[in-house]
Amino acid sequence: MAQTDLLFESPAAPPRDVVPVVVPVALDQAYSYRVPRGVTVRPGTIVEVPLGTRAVTGVVWDDEPGGETVGHNRLKPIAAVHDAPPLGETIRRFVDWVARYYMMPRGMVLRMVLRSPEALEPEAPIRGVRLVGAPPERLTPARRRVLEALVDGLAWSRLGLAAQAGVSVSVVDGLIDCGTLETVELRAGRPADIPEPDYGRLALTDDQQAAAEDLTATVAAGGFKVVLIDGVTGSGKTEVYFEAIAAAVKAGRQALVLLPEIALTAEFTDRFAARFGAKPEEWHSDVSAKGRARTWRGVATGEVRCVIGARSALFLPFRDLGLVVVDEEHDGAYKQDEGVVYHARDMAVVRGRLGGFPVVLASATPSIESRVNADQGRYRRLVLPARVGGARLPEISAIDLRQKTLPRGRAIAPRLQTAIDEAIGRGEQALLFLNRRGYAPLTLCRSCGHRFECPNCSTWLVEHRFRGVLACHHCGHTERRPDACPSCGDVDSLTACGPGVERVAEEAAVLFPEARRLVLSSDMPGGTKRLKDELGAIAKGEFDLVIGTQLVAKGHNFPKMTVVGVVDADLGLAHGDPRAAEKTFQLLQQVTGRAGRAGGDARGFLQTHAPDHPVMKAIIAGDRERFYAAEIDERRRAFMPPFSRLAAVIVSADERDPALAAARDLAGAIPPADAIRVLGPAEAPIAVMRGRHRLRFLVIASRQADLQGYLASWLLGRRWGKGGVKIQIDIDPQSF
């Protein structure tokens, strides 16, 4: 336990009778509350306090006293103390840090920690039964059945155990009387499994072994350090960081693994269980409230040793966290864009620094940020250069679409068609990848040129033929696809422009009528459960041809897949975004990396109009080093992250005029600074979103500049202006 946790209990510092409490609302300051006589609280204690006319759950904080201007007898008292483990020192400092860095009210960040209100409810203990002694001498068949009905030597109740064994409860009581069983108090829910560090370790390859030894030494030594595992797809990175987890568990500390698409990675849980003989606790939006409560309490008490989770797991109140692994660290899903805006990979590093433990980042395509940190010696980089078991990386070639390689109205070139046919003929699998949901990105009237636009956003509606609707991918607006043009009334004049994954599926049905085909896109009905089942079915080889969006690109192991065709490799490059090249490189590398993981001659095809683009050339030549060198150079030259720091300031309002007026106001108030430049205001890339008109400033700062201080001096006091104007700050925006 940290020293400060004891502070208020030590004789030198008598318990305070007024304490600061942070409450989970959009407020930065703590409120002062009176501590009722006979109640002891300390920083971290979770309490119930009155706030206005409501009662809210808050946490006693450790702000310095001061600003407590209200007289003691006028202060409201703490209403109740929750029967929950207090929040430790590290997570409190983490909340302070995240709030300051992202310029969010502390209360909002605390809300991320108190995500599981059920965890704060007192638990009714359950009286269960446990095996403690040897079987009795007189082992009747009834008694034997009781003992056989125990699971891991445990049962949830006497009555349940008797029912399970098909005997009367007196048989169970008899076993308790003779000392074979005893009653115990059990917690609700399944008791946490304890991972065994040496349970199912694979014999590691030499490369893996070298990386693992380096890593376990780091973890065993403790202390803050960031290690980047940089290894091609299928190089066995997971087994390497499993060794880091084993080292943390051996040291008696907790471990957290973050994954970008956790809800879909049933395979990962199984792998973890095979390696450690115990399932990890999961933390993501698909876990039930009860399951979340169990995990929340379990990590706070220290009973739960390993959690695998989505980005929000970073805010769990671990009692003694000793390691965080961020797998696929380059993945954009780590950035949360709504509510509390934060980047989980960056904050994992911060949490490691505050908690004094190592952080492991793993990727086949590290972010430029992490790569630069490694090159400059801030991170340690461990390289796994080859696939496990001698499997080769796929051979990638371009299909140059400028050469009229596509028959009219088609999206799949004959060369790709042939390769897919051959793969299916050999009993292998193929993937057609297009990172665009729906049927067509634009619907146009051939007679009058009418286009279907979202009523809330400045975007075109995407046709989803499967559902029979036109949909906005930004606000979720949908409308039925009409038969006639709403503008000129012509019937049958509406044309789908450009392909979406549903349209590629339609073409695939014509080209490969015999193949067992599967369309995989996150907007198909059936939700996560169905997606999970389908991903499992692909891995088992139940389909010949998969047609999918980026959902299939990431992390999955499809042993039979040998051909990957990227229908439109240029899709991501069109953005004016400085990260466009990096993101496209990562996506193409990841998706082609699905091929050939279990050996054999695997091939990838990029259908492109820009075969000479540095991204395409790097992928085709398999020369990732050249890509990183060129891209890092480009970022340095353009003074873009990580060589500078960025913030976006979005000014929005329901009408354009007040937004524009507010933006002009702000533009007139830009403070001068040496190392900071403000660009804008300009229309945001999506100028209207969810009915709000948006203008944007881009703030570019040198790495040494106090970006937050600058933004505060510019924007403070203006954040909630008149005319429904809202100002949002996005520190380290990922795309713009």
Residues within the annotated binding site for Zn(2+)? 445, 448, 454, 457, 472, 475, 485, 488
**Which option in ligand ADP, Zn ion, none does residue 477 bind, with CB closer than 5 to 8 A by kind?**
Zn ion
Cross-strand pairs, 32: 20
Site for ligand ADP in 168-207 (CB under 6 A): 202-205
- Euclidean distance between CA atoms 333 and 345, whole angstroms: 10
CB of 359 to ligand ADP, least distance (A): 17
265 belongs to the binding site for ligand ADP (CB under 6 A): no
CB of 590 to ligand ADP, least distance (A): 10
Which residues fall in the annotated binding site?
Answer: 445, 448, 454, 457, 472, 475, 485, 488
Pick the closer one to ligand ADP by CB: 116 or 208.
208
CB of 388 to ligand ADP, least distance (A): 4
Closest C-alpha among 219, 208, 227 to residue 329: 227
**Which option in Zn ion, ligand ADP, none does residue 358 bind, with CB closer than 5 to 8 A by kind?**
none
Pick the closer one to Zn ion by CB: 245 or 475.
475
565 belongs to the binding site for ligand ADP (CB under 6 A): no
Pick the closer one to ligand ADP by CB: 123 or 267.
267
- Euclidean distance between CA atoms 116 and 430, whole angstroms: 42
Contact by Cβ (8 Å): 725, 641:
no
343 belongs to the binding site for ligand ADP (CB under 6 A): no
Angle at 685 between CA 682 and CA 687, to 5 degrees: 75
Who's near 458: CB < 8 A, 6+ residues apart?
A: 686, 687, 688, 689
86 belongs to the binding site for ligand ADP (CB under 6 A): no
Pick the closer one to ligand ADP by CB: 11 or 385.
385
Convert 358-417 into a string of H (helix), E (strand) and C (coil): EEEEEECCCCHHHHHHHHCCCCEEEEECCCHHHCCCCEEEEEEHHHCCCCCCCCCCHHHH
CB of 406 to Zn ion, least distance (A): 31
SS3 355: helix
**Tokens coding 632:** 């890092």
What are the distances in angstroms from CA 11 to CA 7, 14, 16?
Answer: 9, 6, 12
| H-run or E-run covering 680 | strand 676-689
274 belongs to the binding site for ligand ADP (CB under 6 A): no
Give me Rg for the CA atoms of the chain. Answer: 29
- Euclidean distance between CA atoms 38 and 46, whole angstroms: 16
Site for ligand ADP in 379-438 (CB under 6 A): 388-389
Pick the closer one to ligand ADP by CB: 231 or 658.
231
**Contact characters 297-316, ligand ADP, x per CB under 6 A:** --------------------
Give me the residues that bind Zn ion (CB under 5 A), please. Answer: 454, 456-457, 472, 474-475, 477
CB of 423 to ligand ADP, least distance (A): 20
641 belongs to the binding site for ligand ADP (CB under 6 A): no
Pick the closer one to ligand ADP by CB: 86 or 236.
236
CB of 328 to ligand ADP, least distance (A): 9
Site for ligand ADP in 223-252 (CB under 6 A): 231, 233-239
**Which option in ligand ADP, Zn ion, none does residue 218 bind, with CB closer than 5 to 8 A by kind?**
none
Pick the closer one to ligand ADP by CB: 57 or 233.
233
Who's near 527: CB < 8 A, 6+ residues apart?
A: none
557 belongs to the binding site for ligand ADP (CB under 6 A): yes
**Tokens coding 570:** 């240029």
363 belongs to the binding site for ligand ADP (CB under 6 A): no
Looking up tokens 């088609």 gives 410
SS3 699: strand
Closest C-alpha among 683, 650, 687 to residue 474: 687
Pick the closer one to ligand ADP by CB: 22 or 382.
382
**Which option in ligand ADP, Zn ion, none does residue 233 bind, with CB closer than 5 to 8 A by kind?**
ligand ADP
**Which option in ligand ADP, Zn ion, none does residue 454 bind, with CB closer than 5 to 8 A by kind?**
Zn ion
**Which option in Zn ion, ligand ADP, none does residue 238 bind, with CB closer than 5 to 8 A by kind?**
ligand ADP
Contact by Cβ (8 Å): 20, 32:
yes
**Which option in Zn ion, ligand ADP, none does residue 472 bind, with CB closer than 5 to 8 A by kind?**
Zn ion
φ/ψ (deg, to 5) at 712: -65, -45
- Euclidean distance between CA atoms 692 and 726, whole angstroms: 10
Instruction: Please provide the size of the chain in residues.
Output: 736
Q: Give me the sheet containing 517-520, strands edge to edge.
A: 395-400, 603-608, 561-566, 429-433, 545-548, 517-520
Residues that bind ligand ADP (CB under 6 A): 202-205, 208, 231, 233-239, 388-389, 557
